[in-house]
Structure 1
Amino acid sequence: MAVVFLLYVVAEVAALWAVGSAIGILGTLGLLLAGTILGSWLARREGGKAARAFMETARSGRSAHNEVTDGMLIGLGGLLIMLPGFVSDVVGLLVLLPPTRGIFRRAWLRRIEKRARSAPNVRSPFQGGVIVVDSEVVDEEPKQPKNHPVIEG
């Protein structure tokens, strides 16, 4: 994981250096600001759409795993947009746009399914079976012990 983070930082610095060399410091800062504004607007718009789709799916009683996954990906895209740098902005915009978000969603769900199959002892509550919980009924007000008088005062 440390290697991936290091590669990410190197890629961001290289992208900033390349863009800064091509268009200058003010142009680079302007592009970063424009990407942030565009990305936050897109994240808000797509987040609202995902929330409405989730509510509609939940009301109809269908499984909303695609809508939940879209909401999580939109959150990730919004976070990537807020990070400074061109690489994170491009990846964030790709995650926020509906056509490419579908590709990310399918890849993410495939990875989750693969990990679930490789975990042999983990049981999902949706796989059936009965869970028994041992419990005890307790009065709301505790009773006073018989040997001790109640002192009021």
Structure 2
Amino acid sequence: MSRLFLLFITVPVLEILIYIELSRITGIGVTFALIFGTGLIGAFLAKREGLQVIRAIRRELEYGQVPGNHLLDGLLVLVGGILLITPGLLTDITGFLFLLPPTRKMVREFLKNKIRKWIDNGQIRFYMWR
């Protein structure tokens, strides 16, 4: 069984179990408030952080620099926003980690190291056309 398939099965099951247990402990009203609250806060954060990343990319391009870190930040903000739209506590936590600048930086550096290893090992190749 592929890892991706396993991920698409286990994450929703875990999310449902978490919501059932949370609503049992706190009540269904608090659980729904948490679902909607994280959605609203997530949408606000995704918009704010996304606009900041776009401004930073434009600024670097104006100075003739390649916006490598900011492009990864933009990708993480996009993925974080998508995760916050997806119902679930685990996806919300992960989405917030991708949206908040301090934790996003840690994830970005982890990704950069991973991509460097893939390039060094020949798992990623770049082709140029002329």
Fold equivalence (TM over 0.5): yes
**One of 104, 109, 113 as aligned partner of 2:107:** 104
Residues 123, 32 of structure 1: CA spacing in aligned structure 2 closer, same or farther, 3 A cutoff? closer
How does 1:37-56 map onto structure 2 within 5 Å? 37-56=40-59
Q: Which has the higher contact order (CA 8 A, sep 6+)?
A: 2
Cα distance in 2, alignment partners of residues 81 and 96 from structure 1: 10
Residues 17, 100 of structure 1: CA spacing in aligned structure 2 closer, same or farther, 3 A cutoff? same
- Unmatched 5+ residue regions in structure 2? none
Cα distance in 1, alignment partners of residues 123 and 105 from structure 2: 29
Moved over 3 A (4+): 120-125
Query: What is the identity, as a one-letter code, of the residue corresponding to 2:83?
Result: L
Give per-residue Cα distances to partners, 1:64-93, cap 9 Å, x unaligned.
110111001000000000001111111101
Residues 30, 61 of structure 1: CA spacing in aligned structure 2 closer, same or farther, 3 A cutoff? same
Query: What is the identity, as a one-letter code, of the residue corresponding to 1:79?
Result: I
Q: Which residue of 1 aligns with 2:27?
A: 24
Residues 21, 73 of structure 1: CA spacing in aligned structure 2 closer, same or farther, 3 A cutoff? same
TM-score (norm 2): 0.89
Higher fraction of helix: 2
Give per-residue Cα distances to partners, 1:93-148, cap 9 Å, x unaligned.
111000000011011111111111222793454xxxxx66xxxxxxxxxxxxxxxx
- Unmatched 5+ residue regions in structure 1? 126-130, 133-153
TM-score (norm 1): 0.77
Aligned length: 127
**Aligned Cα root-mean-square deviation (Å):** 1.7
